Amino acid sequence: MDYLLDGFATALRLLAAGDAETFSAVWITLAASGMSIAACLAIGAPLGFLIGYHDFPGRRAVRIAVDTALCFPTVVIGLLVYLLLSRQGPLGDLGLLFTIPGMAVGLTLLGIPIVMAMTALAVEQADARLRLTLLTLGADGRQVLFATLWETRYHLMLAGVAAFGRIVSEVGISMMVGGNIKWHTRTITTAIALETGKGDYALGIALGLVLLAIALLLNLVLAGLRRRAGR
Amino acid sequence: MSGREDNGVSRMSPGSCEHNIPADDALAAGAGDMADGAASEAHPEEIHPGAAHTEGPCTGVLCTRCHVPLYQLEGVVRRHGERTVLDVPRLDITAGGITGVVGPNGGGKSTLLRLLALLDAPCRGELHFAGEAVGPLSAARTAELRRSVTLLLQEPYLLRRSVYENVAFGLSMRGVRDTADAVRGALELVALDPDVFLHRRWFELSGGEAQRVALAARLAFSPRVLLMDEPTASLDEDSAARIADAARAVAGRGTTVIVVSHDRDWLEPLADRILKVRRGLVEG
């Protein structure tokens, strides 16, 4: 029990002292997750809107594929992106392997299905009177589209926050595509895995506390958005 | 845009009407006059050639005595699947005034309103609005025509915005930038004090206030036709009276008002004409 309490006390000291290694992992995590969530929203939200709003042949199959992608193991995505970005891979010339942007590519593949599925659901579940109201107020097709997107904005933000939560806490993609290189691609989760393996619990606990703080913050944001969306 | 029926709106089905009325049709010309707000000044012969007036000055397309229809329905049939929900051999609705529509539940009143709101097209027959057969029109032209018609739903939906933004929405859809005066005017028409309500959010309104805000949102852009589906169904007497006052006021300004209601005590003193819709057939 003592080693746990000691680890906890040392972790607090590391955080209070602004330990460079700890904050490097935090910064790298936020940078890769930030790039990734921006790409997820830019790509996933329009695609989600498309499958939630329009009837087209194969729509049901697309929904099933997106829902299946929600359960994709992160190590499989990591392996796929590793093969794509490795020197022999089709995107090897980009030199993204073991870089933060390379990690962001993998994390984006993880987050897109979440944003797509939640956006599609939000659009599908929008009040049936909304479209009728917009038409009877004189909106044309394009105006109906944008107004509907605006009316479901809290649900869209909810999708973004949920995807961010998944991205920031995953380990498989970051480990395989980033390579867990100290000061360069070591994230909170890969550092925790490494330091725990080495028996250095203090750094692991410190980073774990940061991750919990991020999770708490995200949940507070989620709760606020849910309250606003529910009105 | 989707044509999904389950979302409450179906696309106009092309080909349901066979002919168009020429663009220089007298009624179409009258429609243009009205859009410019000049209808009340127009001479009858310019708008309805050959129309006879027995007494008083003509008020152009708003003249209820001209009997030149704003809507013409001929052999209109609307089906849901195999079931015929509306069958109108012939119906003309003249521009101006207040038309009441009564009938039992499931009789076809709301279906009629949706046709008149240009949200649905007839499965068979011809529907003319202001001289244009709406069936064969392009989606863009249908959307353009639909901008002169508005429908107040029985359970109105307010956008997740302030009262001001709700009432200004229709104007902004029409490219109007300076909306402040029109919004205040529309709120006053429905007896809501703009200073009190302008900045309230949608969830801060009672049912009656929400209904009146929804009505104000439709009055703000001065529609040619105001359709109302059971506007007083869940309102107290005072709110119902305010809705009636607003309907009279806009009818007085030239808007054609068509109201579906079960409340005959409320409707009969209000309407100039009553249509009965029973088992999909229109009488009256």
Ramachandran quadrant class, A11 (left: phi over 0; alpha: psi -120 to 50; beta: rest): alpha
Whether the CB-CB separation of B101 and B270 falls below 8 Å is answered with no
Instruction: Give A170-199 pLDDT, tens digit per residue.
Output: 999 999 999 999 999 999 999 999 998 998
Using a CB–CB cut-off of 8 Å, the residues of B that contact A are 1-4, 6-9, 117, 119, 139-140, 143, 146-147, 149-153, 155-157, 159-160, 169-170, 173-174, 203, 217-218, 221
Specify the pLDDT at position B284: 67
How many residues in chain A?
231
Q: Do A132 and B8 touch (CB under 8 A)?
A: yes
Instruction: Give B114-128 pLDDT, tens digit per residue.
Output: 999 999 889 999 999
Return d(Cα B244, Cα B232) in angstroms, integer.
Answer: 9
Specify the pLDDT at position A16: 87
Q: Which residues of A are less than 8 Å from B9 in CB distance?
A: 131-132, 135
Whether the CB-CB separation of B62 and B40 falls below 8 Å is answered with yes
Instruction: Give A196-225 pLDDT, tens digit per residue.
Output: 899 888 888 888 898 899 889 988 988 887
And the tokens for B251? 């009818």
Q: Do A135 and B146 touch (CB under 8 A)?
A: yes
Whether the CB-CB separation of A195 and A203 falls below 8 Å is answered with yes
Return d(Cα B135, Cα A51) in angstroms, integer.
Answer: 28
What is the DSSP secondary structure assignment for residue B71, as one 8-state letter? E
Position B39 pLDDT exceeds 80: no
Instruction: Give B179-211 pLDDT, tens digit per residue.
Output: 999 999 999 999 999 999 999 999 999 988 999
Return d(Cα A138, Cα A5) in angstroms, integer.
Answer: 65
Q: What is the CATH number of domain A2-230?
A: 1.10.3720.10
Instruction: Give B81-90 pLDDT, tens digit per residue.
Output: 888 999 999 9
Of B181, B180, B179, B193, give the one whose Cα is nearest residue B242.
B193
Percent of chain B having pLDDT more than 90? Answer: 58
Question: CA angle at residue A75 from A73 to A76, to 5 degrees?
Answer: 70
- Residue type at A193? A
- Please compute the mean of the pLDDT values over residues B4-8 and round it to a whole number: 34
Position A2 pLDDT exceeds 50: yes
Position B30 pLDDT exceeds 70: no
The least confident of A119-133, B45-59, B87-101, B161-175 is: B45-59
Across the interface, which of B6, B8, B146 has its CB nearest the CB of A138? B146
- Please compute the mean of the pLDDT values over residues A26-48 and round it to a whole number: 94
Specify the pLDDT at position A229: 64
List b or e across B162-187, with b for residues whose CB sees 16 or more CB atoms inside 10 angstroms. bbbbbbbbbbbbeeeeebeebbbebb
The least confident of A64-78, A140-154, B177-191, B203-217 is: A140-154
Q: Considering chain B, what is the average pLDDT of its residues?
A: 78
Q: Do A128 and B7 touch (CB under 8 A)?
A: yes
Position A20 pLDDT exceeds 50: yes
Whether the CB-CB separation of B202 and B160 falls below 8 Å is answered with yes
Backbone angles phi, psi at A131, to 5 degrees: -60, -45
Specify the pLDDT at position B67: 52
Q: Do A55 and B2 touch (CB under 8 A)?
A: yes
Specify the pLDDT at position B1: 34
Position B138 pLDDT exceeds 90: no
Q: Tell me the shortest Cα–Cα distance from B217 to chain A, in angstroms.
A: 8
ipTM above 0.95, yes or no: no
β partners of residue B132 = B129
And the tokens for A182? 């100290």
Q: pLDDT-derived band of residue B69, with 50, 70 and 90 as boundaries?
A: confident
Position B238 pLDDT exceeds 80: yes
Find the closest chain B residue to A229 by CA distance: B160
